[in-house]
Amino acid sequence: MERQGNIKISSENMMPIIKKWLYSDKDIFLREIIANGIDAITKFKKLVELGEASAPEEEYCIKVSVDEKAKTLTVEDNGIGMTEEEVEKYITQIAFSGAADFVSKYEKANGDGIIGHFGLGFYSAYMVSEDIEIFTKSYRDESAVRWESDGESTYTISETDKAERGTKIVMHIAEEEKEFLKESEIRSLIQKYCSFMPYPIYLNFTGKDDKALNTTNPLYLKNPKDCTDEEYKEFYRSTFHDYNEPLFWVHLNMDYPFNLKGILYFPKVRRKVELDRGQVKLYCNQVFIADNIKEVIPEYLMLLNGVIDCPDIPLNVSRSFLQNDSQVKKITKHIVKKVADKLTALFKNEREKYETSWPDLANFIKFGCIKDEDFYDKVKDIIIYQNLSGEYHAITEYLGEKISDADAEAGKEPKTVYYTSDVVGQAQYVKLFKDAGLDAIVCDTFIDPHFISFIEYKEVGRVSFKRIDSDIDGALKEGDSTEEESKEIVELVKADLADRKLEVKAEKFKNANVPAIINVSEFMRRMNEMNSFYAMGEGQDEITLVVNLSCSVVQSLKDLPEEKRKLLSNQIYFLAILSYRKLTSEEMEEYTANNLALMQSYVG
Ligand code: ADP
Ligand code: MG
């Protein structure tokens, strides 16, 4: 006996709307259909546990099959099944009104989007099907049911002769969606969305040696104390296809006040110039929702690789709602705290490993601090910098006592901490520093210029960072030189280098073997760096040539005839520039010519 019915809610207009919104995300239909099968198995298993149904002999599983000729994609489960009455209620009423509900939520979301298009359910299969048949047999002693509809406004329902308990969904794939009839496509969709679903999923099941496409009991659900390092590494490899071992990981395992399971891995990213984007996959009860959801996971945590399963995050709401949801905020806070705790524990208990991992961690931590000041407060004591002897110290150890506002007004400056941005390029300065017993920290990653400004702002009054070529520290000098001592030499050098854009100064260095060095004020250099960062053009650094009165070559300038002196002044200039930066090709030519002329002046 066949009955026909009208789908109560008006669905004619829904499909174009849904298709438009979900265009890039149609794939989710397979997740929805398989997830329904999983739910049905879970329900049946509950009944067995309660003694309301007898335990089946066969394995609980989902079988997916594609038939290119018949143009069908079929998903079959051996779950609870449905009676005729239930099909009417759950499919014709609930599934369709669920879709209508989704559409209205989507309209309210105002283009804002709903994460992973969660909540559309059974109806989503109509995005790719022109017709769907359901064959289902309830665990109750009732006859099997066949339901069919093209998803528009009518459906038919009749008895059928399905013998086994469970539900089979046969999707007649629309002509323009043919890709969903390719086994490879379906395989990769199952791997993407269903890889942690709790019952085995088989594709084109043959009955022997079939392997499920999913892991039914993913590691992140286990109790951390039962997991071995090898298991963590294996889970990392298989989930992220990264054959570099992760540095370490944080296992999130919480039941109260919210349910949160997952593992966050710190990947090896060494020597990457840019921030490497990681991948944090969000799951809800083992169902994949989406990657890198910034409304749930702070942007900087997305530099990590991880899996987060949190059924307590409301997912069928708009993204902006999620952003302001207090529950989500608590969850995010918890994740951040766990990450900070892990890093702190490592710093305290495995200092050596922490230091060797630091180049991989540094960008993540620094970026995190800049983005989230709460994170900074949690990790500030474990941010380390290498000094000139290669030892690591926490940045907080370098800071001075905060100067009072009154002192600041009176012109007192916060403690100076010198840094080098390039140990090799700034080797001469480094040597001068070391010889004078001065120290500096190594700030050579691309994020350091931003990060040191951030520290100066967070720790205002306690530190002022200066690059080692920005001035001559008192410790490098043999006392202050008098006006008298320096005036003559400065005038001579200025005259000799009149064509060059620079300031000239003279100081008495402790080290007599360096004729001169270049200084660029920290403030000016930072301004220029910022301008070029914001693409406002690169300003010329205003450089100062500091000649060394302790150096006999410099002193000799006083006694040389003008022509020879000019050659020597230029030579001193080029030497200083060479220790400061690379020469341009024009300068290189000039330098070579000056060298030659200098030699010739000796040969006569
Ligand atoms: P949801 O899963 O969020 O309830 P769906 O639209 O996916 O919404 O499904 C609607 C209802 O149809 C389900 O709640 C369930 O009762 C029923 N249903 C769907 N698929 C199956 C299935 N494979 N086995 C048994 N019942 C199902
Ligand atoms: Mg569902």
pLDDT (tens digit per residue) in 84-139? 999 999 999 888 888 888 888 888 877 677 888 888 899 999 999 999 999 999 99
Give me the helices (H) in 350-444, please: 351-371, 373-379, 395-398, 405-409, 427-435
Tokens 């840094």 sit on residue:
419
CA distance 53 to 78: 13
Asked whether 540 and 502 are in contact (CB, 8 A), the reply is no
β-strands 287-291, 279-284 pairing: antiparallel
Shared-domain flag, residues 132 and 53: yes
Q: What is the 3-state secondary structure (H, E, C) of 45-88?
A: HHHHHCCCCCCCCCCCCEEEEEECCCCEEEEEECCCCCCHHHHH
- Ligand nearest to the Cα of 287, by number: 2
Read off the pLDDT of each residue in 22-43 and give the average, rounded to a whole number. 94
Full residue range of the structural domain in which residue 236 is found: 219-339
Mean pLDDT along residues 146-162? 93
What is the residue with the minimal CA distance to atom 8 of ligand 1? 121
292-321 pLDDT, tens digit each = 998 899 989 999 999 999 999 988 888 888
**Phi, then psi, of 295 in degrees rounded to 5:** -75, -15
Residue 490 has what pLDDT? 96
Work out the burial of residue 141: count CB atoms within 10 Å of its CB; fewer than 13 is exposed, 13-18 middle, 19 or more buried. exposed
Q: Which of 157, 176, 203 is the last residue of a domain?
A: 203
Ligand 1, atom nearest to 119 Cα: 3
Separation of CA 442 and ligand 2 centre (Å)? 55
Residue 271, pLDDT above cutoff 70: no
Domain for residue 365, yes or no?
no
Closest ligand 1 atom, residue 86 Cα = 16
Ligand 1 atom at minimal distance to the Cα of residue 124: 6
User: What's the CA-to-centroid distance between 591 and ligand 2, angstroms?
Assistant: 75
Please state, rounded to an integer, the average pLDDT across all residues of the chain.
92
- By alpha-carbon position, which residue is closest to atom 13 of ligand 1? 90
Q: Give the pLDDT score at 537.
A: 67
Q: What is the CATH number of the domain that holds 441?
A: 3.40.50
Cα of 118 from ligand 1 centre, angstroms: 14
Distance 594 CA to ligand 2 centre (A): 80
User: Are residues 77 and 151 part of one domain?
Assistant: yes
Q: Is residue 85 part of a domain?
A: yes
- Measured in angstroms, how far is the CA atom of residue 177 from the centroid of ligand 2? 22
Can you tell me the distance from the alpha carbon of 526 to that of 512, in angstroms, rounded to the nearest whole number?
A: 30
- Residues pairing with 162 in the sheet: none
pLDDT recorded at residue 100 = 87
Compute, in angstroms, the gap from residue 286 CA to the centroid of ligand 1: 17
Q: Give the pTM.
A: 0.89
Based on the fold, state whether residues 159 and 18 are members of the same structural domain. Answer: yes
Q: What is the pLDDT of residues 170-197, one digit of tens each?
A: 999 999 999 999 999 999 999 999 999 9
* Residue 420 to residue 593: CA distance in whole angstroms: 32
Does 136 reside within a domain? yes
CA of 201 to the centre of ligand 2 (A): 17
- The CA-atom distances, in angstroms, between 197 and each of 248, 255, 314, 347, 480 are 25, 19, 19, 36, 75
pLDDT, residue 443, reads 96
568 and 434 both lie in a single domain: no
Ligand number nearest to the C-alpha of 75:
1
588: domain CATH number is 1.20.120.790
Flag whether pLDDT at 11 surpasses 70. Answer: no
Position 85 scores a pLDDT of 96
CATH code at position 294: 3.30.230.80
DSSP, collapsed to helix, strand or coil, labels residue 561 as: coil
Cα separation of 513 and 383, whole Å? 37
- Token code pair at residue 486: 């320096």
Question: Tens digit of pLDDT for each residue in 58-86?
Answer: 999 999 999 999 999 999 999 999 999 99
Q: How many whole angstroms from 35 Cα to the centroid of ligand 1?
A: 9
For 422-443, the pLDDT digits (tens) are 999 999 999 999 999 999 999 9
Q: Is residue 578 part of a domain?
A: yes
pLDDT value, residue 15: 85
Smallest-distance ligand from the CA of 125 = 1
For 271-304, give one letter per residue: b (16+ CB within 10 A) or e. eeeebeebbbbbbbbbbbbbeebebbbbebbbbb
Q: Nearest ligand to the C-alpha of residue 102? A: 1
Pocket of ligand 1 (CB under 6 A): 32, 36-37, 40, 77, 79-80, 82, 90-91, 94-95, 98, 121-123, 167
What is the Cα–Cα distance from 202 to 212, expressed in whole angstroms?
A: 5
Is the pLDDT score of 272 beyond 70?
Answer: no
| Dihedral angle, C-alpha 294, 299, 302, 307, nearest 10 ° | -40
Instruction: Pick the last residue of a domain from 310, 339, 368.
Output: 339
Does the pLDDT value for residue 215 go beyond 90?
yes
| Per-residue confidence (pLDDT) for residue 3, from 0 to 100 | 86
Mutate to test the pocket of ligand 1, among 31, 39, 83, 139 (most ligand atoms within 8 A of CB): 39
**For atom 1 of ligand 1, which residue has the closest CA?**
121
557: Cβ contacts below 8 Å, ≥ 6 apart: 489, 492, 493, 565, 568, 569
Distance 90 CA to ligand 1 centre (A): 6
Report the pLDDT value the prediction gives residue 6, as an integer from 0 to 100.
82
Contacts of 339 (CB under 8 A, 6+ apart): 250, 264, 301, 304
Which of 122, 149, 316 gets mutated to test ligand 1 (max ligand atoms within 8 A of its CB)?
122
- The predicted model gives 547-556 an average pLDDT of 95
CATH number, domain containing residue 193: 3.30.565.10
DSSP 512: T
Atom of ligand 1 lying closest to residue 120 CA: 6
Residue that finishes a domain, picked among 339, 374, 395 = 339
Q: Are 558 and 506 in contact (CB under 8 A)?
A: no
Going by CA atoms, what residue is nearest to atom 15 of ligand 1?
90
**Per-residue pLDDT, 243:** 87
If one counts the domains in the chain, the total is 4
Whether residue 191 is found in the same domain as residue 300: no
At 273 the pLDDT is 60
Q: Answer whether residue 556 shows pLDDT above 80.
A: yes
**Count of beta carbons in the 10 Å neighbourhood of residue 384:** 21
Q: Are 246 and 305 in contact (CB under 8 A)?
A: yes
Nearest residue (CA) to ligand 1, atom 20: 36
Q: Which ligand 1 atom is at minimum distance from the Cα of 169?
A: 23
* Residue 357 domain-assigned (yes or no): no
For ligand 2, the distance from its centroid to the CA atom of residue 488, given in whole angstroms, is: 88
Same domain assignment for residues 240 and 199: no
For residues 489 and 575, membership in a common domain is answered with: yes
Q: What is the pLDDT of residue 222?
A: 97
Smallest CA separation from ligand 1 atom 17, residue: 90
Q: Look up residue 158 and give its two tokens.
A: 């009749």
Q: Does residue 197 contact residue 34 with C-beta atoms inside 8 Å?
A: yes
Ligand 1 atom 16 nearest Cα: 90
**512: its two tokens:** 């007599």
Residues 163, 24 share a domain:
yes
Whole-number percent of the chain with pLDDT over 70: 98
- Residue 476, in any domain of the structure: no
Residues 439 and 496 in one domain: no
How many residues are there in the chain?
A: 604
Model confidence at 534: pLDDT above 90? no
Note whether 8 and 118 are same-domain residues. yes
CA distance 547 to 494: 11
The phi, psi pair for 290, rounded to 5°, reads -170, 165
Q: Whose CA is nearest to atom 21 of ligand 1?
A: 36
Q: Same structural domain for residues 63 and 175?
A: yes
Give, in order, the Cα–Cα distances in Å from 596 to each of 252, 567, 578. 69, 10, 17
Question: Residues 202, 63: contact at Cβ < 8 Å?
Answer: yes
pLDDT at 270: 61
Which residues touch 254 (CB under 8 Å, ≥6 apart)? 260, 261, 334
Handedness of CA 189, 190, 195, 197 (dihedral sign): positive
CA distances from 296 to 310, 332, 334 (A): 10, 6, 11
Asked if 243 and 392 sit in the same domain, the reply is no
> What's the pLDDT band for 358 if we cut at 50, 70, 90?
very high
Give distance in angstroms: CA of 223 to centre of ligand 2: 28
Query: Measuring CA to CA, how many Å separate 113 from each of 95, 110, 118?
Result: 21, 7, 10
Residue 364 lies in a domain: no
134 in a structural domain: yes
- Which residue has its alpha carbon closest to ligand 1 atom 11? 90
Q: How confident is the model at residue 24 (pLDDT cuts 50, 70, 90)?
A: confident
